[in-house]
Structure 1
Amino acid sequence: MSSPAEFYKSLPPISKAYGTACLLTTIACQIGLIHPGHIALDLELAIFHLQVWRLITNFFFLGKFSINFGIRLLMIARYGVQLENGPFERRTADFLWMMIFGALSLLVLSAIPFFRSLFLGISLVFMLLYVWSREHPNATINIYGLVSLKAFYLPWAMLCLDVIFGSPIAPDLLGIIAGHLYYFLSVLHPIAGGKNILKTPVLIQKLVARWRIGAPTNNNPQPERTTGGAFRGRSYRLAG
């Protein structure tokens, strides 16, 4: 069994960076180095008082140390890592663009009164979970050793559990909406014959290449997709 240091070193770059930022931010807030109010999303302060960091830092706070915080961090370590090592393998720029698009979508959607929130980190984690569930729809997931279900339903099961345990529904639902928006525009719409309007910007590709983030880009053709419907996710051709 690898040591914690070896496990951490083996994590893909974007998931590792985001998970680390969330952990360090929570530690800093817990010990009093940072007040959560100074990094919270406040559009008035961000726009009219030029506190633009709030548009980014609000995604790094998943709440103070608690069981819920631990679950969110584990979701990044599992589902974010599996996405980055699976469907997005050697596509670090695409994975980074997915995260950026998700964050921008959440910022826009959070302007709706029902979804208004000071912190959108939980919603971004739920977006990752939703995209993972669409990429691995037929995987079997066991929840707390009590219930087994297809991965396609996992985001909704986690949302129901959060509501049962007293957490607000809006952040989870917001993440699911953002995740579906990304998956529809990047996968379902092109499958149906539409244009892929979410191609990774050249600037993101150049930044990833310049800073040598992740493995070199795979220049082989992308895995084929099918019109298999809502429950099938992407289709991959096996070599040989």
Structure 2
Amino acid sequence: MSSPAEFYNSLPPISKTYGTLCFLATTAYQFGLYHPAHIALIHEAVFYRFQVWRLITNFFFLGKFSINFGIRLLMIARYGVQLEKGPYDRRTADFLWMMIFGALTLLVLSAIPIFESSFLGISLVFMLLYVWSREFPNSQINIYGLVQLKAFYLPWAMLALDVIFGSSPIPDFLGIVAGHLYYFLTVLHPLSGGKNIIKTPVWVHKVVARWRIGARPITRAQTQAQPETGSSGAFRGRSYRLNG
């Protein structure tokens, strides 16, 4: 069995970085190093006092140390890592762009009064969960040893559990909306004959290459040589995707 350090070092870069920042943000809060209001998404402070860091920092706070915090962190460690090591293997720029697009979508949605939220970290985690559920739709998931269901239904099951336990469904729902929008524009729409209108920008590829983040990407020739093994049916996943 690998040690915790070996497990941590084996994690892919984007999921590891995001999970680490979320953990550090909560740890610093528990030690009283800052107040959450200093990093919250407050639109008046952003637009009238130019505190633009709030557009980013709000994504790193998942709440104080609690069972819910642990569940969200485990969701990053499981579903984010499986995405980055699976469909996004050697496609670090595409995975990073998915996170950026999701964050931008959530920022727009949060500007709608009924969806207003000061922290969008939980929503971003739920976006990862939703995309994972579409990539691995037929995986069998056991919830608390009580219910077994296909991964396709997991985001909705987790939303229902949050409602049952008294949490607001809004953050979960926003994450599902952002995840579905990304999946529709990059997968479902192109599969129906349309174009991928949000393909990964060149500058994201340049950032990943400049900082040597992740493994080197698969070339177009290598991608075209891979056989497509996706299953058929209503809840079909994909064996690979060319995000260009």
Question: Do these two structures clear the TM 0.5 threshold for a shared fold by scoring above it?
Answer: yes
Q: For residues 158-181 of structure 1, what are the alpha-carbon distances to aligned partners after superposition, in whole Å with 9 as ceiling and x for unaligned?
A: 000000000001000000000000
Tell me which residue corresponds to 1:234: 238
Q: Which runs of 5+ in 2 are unaligned?
A: none
Which residues of 2 match residues 46-195 of structure 1 at below 5 A? 46-195=46-195
1: CA distance, partners of 2:145 / 2:210 = 45
Amino acid at match of 1:232: R
Q: Which runs of 5+ in 1 are unaligned?
A: none
Tell me which residue corresponds to 1:210: 210
Q: For residues 58-104 of structure 1, what are the alpha-carbon distances to aligned partners after superposition, in whole Å with 9 as ceiling and x for unaligned?
A: 00000000000000000000000000000000000000000000000
Amino acid at match of 1:167: S
Amino acid at match of 2:164: I
CA contact (8 A) 2:133 2:154 kept: yes
- What is the CA RMSD across the aligned residues, in angstroms? 1.6
CA separation of 1:200 and 1:236: change in aligned 2, threshold 3 A: closer
Q: Percent identical across equivalent pairs? A: 77
CA contact (8 A) 1:137 1:151 kept: yes
Cα drift, residue 205 of structure 1 = 0.1
CA separation of 1:184 and 1:229: change in aligned 2, threshold 3 A: farther
2: CA distance, partners of 1:226 / 1:2 = 32
Cα drift, residue 115 of structure 1 = 1.1
Amino acid at match of 1:102: G
CA contact (8 A) 1:191 1:227 kept: no
CA contact (8 A) 2:15 2:77 kept: yes
The DSSP-based 3-state class of the residue aligned with 2:223 is coil
Cα drift, residue 46 of structure 1 = 1.0
The DSSP-based 3-state class of the residue aligned with 1:221 is helix
CA separation of 1:42 and 1:97: change in aligned 2, threshold 3 A: same
CA separation of 1:38 and 1:184: change in aligned 2, threshold 3 A: same
CA separation of 1:230 and 1:96: change in aligned 2, threshold 3 A: farther
Cα drift, residue 114 of structure 1 = 1.7
Cα drift, residue 185 of structure 1 = 0.2
2: CA distance, partners of 1:186 / 1:166 = 34
1: CA distance, partners of 2:234 / 2:112 = 27
Q: For residues 138-194 of structure 1, what are the alpha-carbon distances to aligned partners after superposition, in whole Å with 9 as ceiling and x for unaligned?
A: 000000111100000000000000000000010000000000000000000000000
Tell me which residue corresponds to 2:223: 221
The DSSP-based 3-state class of the residue aligned with 1:100 is helix
1: CA distance, partners of 2:84 / 2:61 = 22
CA contact (8 A) 2:87 2:239 kept: no
Amino acid at match of 1:234: R
Provide the TM-score with structure 1 as the length reference: 0.95
2: CA distance, partners of 1:212 / 1:192 = 35
Cα drift, residue 30 of structure 1 = 1.1
CA separation of 1:47 and 1:117: change in aligned 2, threshold 3 A: same
Provide the TM-score with structure 2 as the length reference: 0.94
The DSSP-based 3-state class of the residue aligned with 1:142 is strand
1: CA distance, partners of 2:230 / 2:18 = 31
